[in-house]
Amino acid sequence: MEQIYVQNQDGEPLMPCKPAKADKLLDNNKAVVILLCPFTIRLNWNCENNKQEIIVGLDTGAVNVGCSAVSNNKCLYASETKLRTDIHKKMLRRASYRRTRRCRKLRYRQPRFNNRTRPEGWLPPSLKSKAESTIKVVQNLANILPIDKVRVEIAKFDTQKLQNHDISGKEYQKGVTEGYDNVRAYVFERDKYTCQICKKKEGILQTHHIIQRTDGGSDRPENLVTVHKDCHEKYHKGLIEHKFRKPKSYAMATQVTILKDYIVQELKKDFDVEVTFGYITKRNRLRLNLPKSHCFDAVAICDPKKIERIDNIFKRVCIPLGRYQQTKGIRSEKKLPGGKVFGYSIWDKVRLPDKRIGFIKGRRLRGDFEICDLDGNKFEKSVRYSNLEIIQYARGEVSIPLHTKVCSTLET
Q: Where are the domains of the chain?
A: 4-43, 55-86+123-157+251-319, 171-237, 324-395
- Greater confidence, 190 or 99? 190
What gap in Å lies between CA 313 and CA 68, rounded to an integer? 9
Would you state the CATH architecture of domain 55-86+123-157+251-319?
A: 2-Layer Sandwich (3.30)
What size, in residues, is the chain?
A: 412
**Sign of the CA dihedral running 173, 177, 179, 183:** negative
Mean pLDDT of 216-227: 89
Residue 109 has pLDDT above 70, yes or no: no
- Can you give the pLDDT at residue 411? 33
- Domain 324-395 belongs to what topology? SH3 type barrels. (2.30.30)
Read off the pLDDT band of 406 (50, 70, 90). Answer: very low
Peptide bond into 291 cis (omega under 30): no
Stretch among 36-50, 91-105, 203-217, 308-322 having the lowest mean pLDDT: 91-105
Mean pLDDT of 387-412: 68
What gap in Å lies between CA 216 and CA 347, rounded to an integer? 27
What gap in Å lies between CA 280 and CA 285, rounded to an integer? 9
Residue 82 has pLDDT above 70, yes or no: yes
What gap in Å lies between CA 115 and CA 373, rounded to an integer? 42
- Can you give the pLDDT at residue 99? 79
- Can you give the pLDDT at residue 113? 66
The predicted model scores a pTM of 0.82
Judge whether 55-86+123-157+251-319 and 324-395 match in fold: no
Residue 227 has pLDDT above 90, yes or no: yes
What gap in Å lies between CA 195 and CA 51, rounded to an integer? 70
Q: What is the dihedral of CA 249, 253, 259, 263, to 10 degrees?
A: 140
